[in-house]
Structure 1
Amino acid sequence: MHDLIQQMGKEVVRQQAPNILRKRSRLCFYKDSLKVLTTNKGSKNIRGIMLHSRQQLEVQLHTEAFRRMENLKFLIVENVHIHKPLEFLPKNLILLKWPQYPFHWPSEYFAKQLVAVEMPHSCIRLPRLFMQCRLENLTDIDLQGCKFITILPKLWVPNLENLNLSYCENLVEIDECFGYLEKLRIWYLNGCIKLQFLPSQLRLKSLYSFYLTGCSRLEKLPHFHQEMECLKGLYLSGSGIREVPSSIEHLTKLNTLILHNCKNLRDLPDSIYKLRRLRELWTSTTKLRPMCNSFDSSSEGYELYLLTMPNYFPALEILSLSSNNIVTIPESISRFPKLKYLSITNCKLLHEIQGLPQSIREVHANNCMLLDTQSASRLLNQVIEMTGILPNRVCGSARSTNYFPSETEDGDISMDRQFSNYFPSETEGVEYEDRDVYRIMIFWGTKMPEWFNHQSVENSIFFWAGRKFPKLVVCVVLGREGFYGSVDISINSYKKREYEHIRHSGNNCNLHLFSPPQRSLQEHLNESNPTDQNHVKVSYRIHYQNLVDVTYRNANGIKRWGGST
């Protein structure tokens, strides 16, 4: 409906002067816009031009094509590459959208009425007049990927709301004035690999999200003013910062703090414990202190002071400690009341996990090769406890094609005669907890737990279910070959659905366990023409292996897999 209304509006404008382009108020059709801009046939009647090509084209516009369009307010040029720079741009523009503009702006150009500038991946430099004029209407700037911008100078933009300078690879310095923009809401500086100097203080009262990911030469963060109460997300992954200022305590509404892979960062300030609303924390250093009496003096192991203070982070739901030199996850982590996701991937000195909270839904412990067997068993027991699966309860024997021939169902499946005892045929009164919760655990290992009663080295396993779908846990033993794939479930050969995506980098063997929400499985069953005995097929597909876009039936990335019901 929206597209139809838009087309109707364009046609109404075209009918204003169907044969005389310069008399129209707007030029929206590609051929009409191109004709005016290549022949210099513009006029003061034209208030908007859109030159949009579905495919990348090279054309040559008249260098003074906009000279006569003194009332032009809207200019949008997309997928059109020009060979010569323009000598003039309209000074009354409100919207200037021209991605990949290949030249600098005209030296004398300034447009004090601008509301939005969208020129990503362009070759522009900010002209001096642009710096000197008062751009009071400007609310949006998108100059991401503009490699000729080296300094963001002093600009008068008091109403700026969105500033995107991401991947300006030669940007080094940002003027102090940008630390006092009271209406700025979102600021992107991610990927500015040469950025070294930010404003010394940020007093951005409306700032909601601040992105500094990948700013590897940025060593110092600004002081955060106490009026920065709106900031919700601070993203510093891969930056070169050496410390987090104690003024971070002023970010009282912060709920996401990303400090992953900050290689120069050695510690966090005590004031971080004042972030009572923090919901997501990713860090490679979390108030670490050396272990005592656990290893000799040459040990590089650490314990996490942060994890001994669960009361300080009552809202924490997501915690990533990947690539830390930690030795122990203490029992106190079980007292984090809302923690759902924990990543300890590549913690290569980690020996022990003393506990996990009941709220946990996902644990990633890839490549923790020193993790003791007791901790691994504790993780498995957590799966059992969360899902309600009873280990070694055999409700049937899965048979995979070719490997386990059988006389039933064309050699695919052989089931225990006690099957009906385990699956009630009625669903009335059944209640489900955690309706939309997936439970996932990934940790180092090479052997599937014996209590998985359906196992296979082929790409499918089968079992039977009654009218109530049983609780299900699927385990995949991942080999040393990387791949991206999915696990699908079909019931009665009807409506196959993807229930899990697996992205495995290879190099190390890991176990990937997951348990789909039982309510989702039950709803799937109810939509699959259910009877008292329903045939369930669980299968995996490899979409990409070694970055080659080929689908494989058998993958070296999966050594063995199975399910428990």
Structure 2
Amino acid sequence: MAAAGFSTLNMEYLRRQSESDTSSSESEFNGENAEDLSYSDLETVPDFLLLRSNELRALQLDHNEILCLPDTISSFKNLVTMDISANNMTILSPELVKLHNLKTFIARNNCFDTDSIPKDFGLMSSLEVLNLGGNNFKELPPQVTELEHLRCLYMGGNKIEEVNSSIKSLTNLEVLYLGGNCLTEIPAEVGCLHKLTALVLCDNQIQSLPPTLIHLQQLRSLSLHNNQISTLPTAIVSLNIVELSLRNNPLVDKFVQDLVYNPPTLLELAGRCIKIDGLPYSCEELPRHLVQYLDSAHHCVNIKCKGVYFSSRVEQVKFVDFCGKYRLPLLQYLCSPSCSTVISPSPSLSSDSEPEEEDNTKERMRRVLLG
């Protein structure tokens, strides 16, 4: 599928995002007010650094044997960037909270879990970039969702099974990386992260996405490869996604052609006749529960069909070009199997069509897919 080829572009987009996010931190590492002690076989922060504790703005301690940061780390009050990756650490020092100027904190590839995070870690209001990838987290630490100024959160390569609804508190988040975890679903509250430009959910076990993604109007990169997704919410056509990665999902690996259809009950058949023929009804003539049932009727998405359905419907997946870039599998509901033989993709939406204006393309898809 054309969508499968977008993984490379997706990673390129994320790389560019990461470069812009970390450009300031890299300049901190390379400046004269920085100290790079990576790969130095250190077991603790050396005492000679204390003499420069007030002037240092960047401290690189990755790939050492530091099992826990000493209490003296609180002396480095002007630190803006710190990297303690790959040290086999199991706990973060509570003294970190005293670093009121720290904006970028990188602690990848250690042995941290939720109990490793200081209880008042959420008070680090200066943090903008947090990287806790490659650790042992099974959930998103609640303290992390208290970091109100956080712009980039990298939690990839952990063991996260669930994302709590408190994720909605990170209203300034622009990049959310949750790839390589054990997620089976994404909470609807992710739709509250209105500033998100990149959302990485690849290499999980996600089966579906919440329709609240329609609220992510700033989203440009969406990475979904290597999951269990069979369909996408139709709301996704309203997004302005530049790069989408879908490979190795059921919706790409195998075109779903089987119709799912439970024969309608006598109640549904009667209800369909009433709705299709436009027969009047009211609570004075029918029990309230029957009136509510009749009011719950849905129209068939086949524009050539005037039928309705209640609980008995045909689920059908249609692959449609999205903005001339890639093909999206969207779930649509029909009133009967006979409608599936009538609907065919619009010629203007075929894979061989020339890309047209984005707004016009999305409008056509709204008509075809949303009814």
TM-score by length of 2: 0.56
SS in 2 for 1:247: helix
| Percent of residue pairs identical | 23
Contact 1:243–1:267 (CA under 8 A) maintained in structure 2:
yes
Partner of 1:341: 243
- Mapping of 1:346-385 within 5 angstroms? 346-348=248-250, 351-352=255-256, 354=318, 358-359=322-323, 361=325, 381=349, 383-385=351-353
* Alignment equivalent of 1:124, drawn from 42, 53, 59: 42
**Paired amino acid for 1:243:** E
- Cα distance in 2 between the residues matched to 1:141 and 1:342: 36
Contact 2:190–2:212 (CA under 8 A) maintained in structure 1:
no
1:240 CA displacement:
2.0
Change (3 A) 1:386 1:224: farther
Structure 1, residues 505-548: CA drift from partner, whole Å, max 9, x if none?
xxxxxxxxxxxxxxxxxxxxxxxxxxxxxxxxxxxxxxxxxxxx
Partner of 1:276: 194
Contact 2:209–2:232 (CA under 8 A) maintained in structure 1:
no
1:141 CA displacement:
0.7
- Cα distance in 2 between the residues matched to 1:280 and 1:181: 28
Contact 2:85–2:106 (CA under 8 A) maintained in structure 1:
yes
Say whether 1:209 aligns with 2:136.
Answer: no
Change (3 A) 1:387 1:188: same
Change (3 A) 1:354 1:244: same
**Paired amino acid for 1:319:** L
* Alignment equivalent of 1:160, drawn from 69, 79, 82: 79
Contact 2:194–2:217 (CA under 8 A) maintained in structure 1:
yes
**Paired amino acid for 1:210:** L
Change (3 A) 1:283 1:356: farther
- Mapping of 1:527-546 within 5 angstroms? none
- Cα distance in 1 between the residues matched to 2:321 and 2:217: 13
Structure 1, residues 207-240: CA drift from partner, whole Å, max 9, x if none?
222122222x233433247773432211112112
Change (3 A) 1:161 1:364: farther
Partner of 1:443: none
Contact 1:213–1:236 (CA under 8 A) maintained in structure 2:
yes
1:379 CA displacement:
12
Change (3 A) 1:128 1:280: closer
- Cα distance in 2 between the residues matched to 1:135 and 1:122: 19
- Cα distance in 2 between the residues matched to 1:180 and 1:355: 53
**Paired amino acid for 2:248:** N
Partner of 2:355: 387
Unaligned regions of 5+ residues in structure 1, if any?
A: 1-94, 98-113, 289-301, 366-376, 389-432, 435-565
SS in 1 for 2:214: helix
Partner of 1:230: 149
Identify the structure with the greater helix proportion.
Answer: 2
How many residues were matched structurally? 248
* Alignment equivalent of 2:99, drawn from 181, 186, 198: 181
Say whether 1:328 aligns with 2:231.
Answer: yes
SS in 1 for 2:250: coil
Structure 1, residues 8-40: CA drift from partner, whole Å, max 9, x if none?
xxxxxxxxxxxxxxxxxxxxxxxxxxxxxxxxx
Say whether 1:318 aligns with 2:235.
Answer: no
- Cα distance in 1 between the residues matched to 2:97 and 2:347: 46
- Cα distance in 1 between the residues matched to 2:162 and 2:39: 32
Partner of 1:250: 169
Partner of 1:35: none
Larger radius of gyration: 1
Structure 1, residues 242-263: CA drift from partner, whole Å, max 9, x if none?
3334332222111111111102
Change (3 A) 1:153 1:342: same
**Paired amino acid for 1:118:** D
1:358 CA displacement:
4.7
TM-score by length of 1: 0.38
Contact 1:329–1:355 (CA under 8 A) maintained in structure 2:
no
Unaligned regions of 5+ residues in structure 2, if any?
A: 1-27, 257-316, 330-344, 359-371
- Superposed CA RMSD in Å reads 3.8
Change (3 A) 1:343 1:225: closer
Change (3 A) 1:96 1:207: closer
1:162 CA displacement:
0.4
Change (3 A) 1:360 1:140: farther
